Amino acid sequence: MYIYPAIDLYGGQAVRLTRGDYSQMTVYDNDPVGVAKRFCKAGAEKLHIVDLEGAKDGSTANYAMIAEILKATPLKAEIGGGIRSLDTVEKYISAGAERVILGTAAIEDPAFLRAAACEYGDHIAVGVDVKDGFVAVRGWTEVSGRECFDFCRELESIGIKTVISTDISKDGMESGTNRDLYARLRDELSMNIIASGGISTLDDLAAVRDLGVYGAIVGRVLYTGAMNLTDALAVARERG
């Protein structure tokens, strides 16, 4: 299983939200490039970056910082937040992103979703952020009418290979992750499932690993010191 240490960007700083609430934002570091370099030094191969301003308003407000991170490290990064056009997809891939994550646009613009899947193939992932069983959009500020599993099956049918799924109620709470959600996604889909939200201990990480998912995103606990990234990477490599 791959570990994706997370950098959420707002105003060029590394921050974390609690349950997607922009009014509950904690700034952890004003040097996101330095954060990425530390992740790399600890042994990470992957990186998860979200432009929180982009997620909210569709901009690429933190593009310059993201491009700097991609240039400064060899980490294979997936980028999300505000990716709502083929031009923006191309912009991030040209900057060195391994994968871009479609969120709001995947729900609201099916033609764009299909065009991106056709044009960029495995470079496209979709973020399926779940609130009360439905997919949330616009930086988690709104809930769509799309049921999570129905939407995922539709994604699979058009060729999307990777889904990043977050149970919003767990994100930033350090209270454990939604194992039932990831087990069901694993059972019902033939896709790469990346688990996100609520991973707070190495035991949580081991439980997710044992579900057989492709990857896990680890965020707040790396910034608070509650989890050591080197230890997390070691757990991910173990067999359950």
Residue pair 163/181 in contact (Cβ under 8 Å)? The answer is: no
Q: Which of 181, 164, 196, 179 is nearest to 240 (CA)?
A: 179
Residue 129 designated active-site: yes
Q: Which of 49, 45, 68 is nearest to 8 (CA)?
A: 49
Residue pair 217/204 in contact (Cβ under 8 Å)? The answer is: no
Residue pair 127/140 in contact (Cβ under 8 Å)? The answer is: no
Token pair recorded at residue 170: 């767990």
Residue that is written with structure tokens 């699979």 in the block? 156
Task: Supply φ then ψ for residue 105, to 5 degrees.
Answer: -65, -30
* Residue/partner pairs of 23-30 with CB below 8 Å, 24 or more apart: 24/172, 28/223, 29/223
Residue 21 designated active-site: no
Q: How far apart are CA 223 and CA 216, in angstroms?
A: 16
For the chain, the straight-line distance linking the first and the last C-alpha, in angstroms and rounded, comes to 11
Token pair recorded at residue 34: 């330095």
- Give me the catalytic one of 8, 167, 171, 204: 8
Catalytic residue IDs: 8, 129
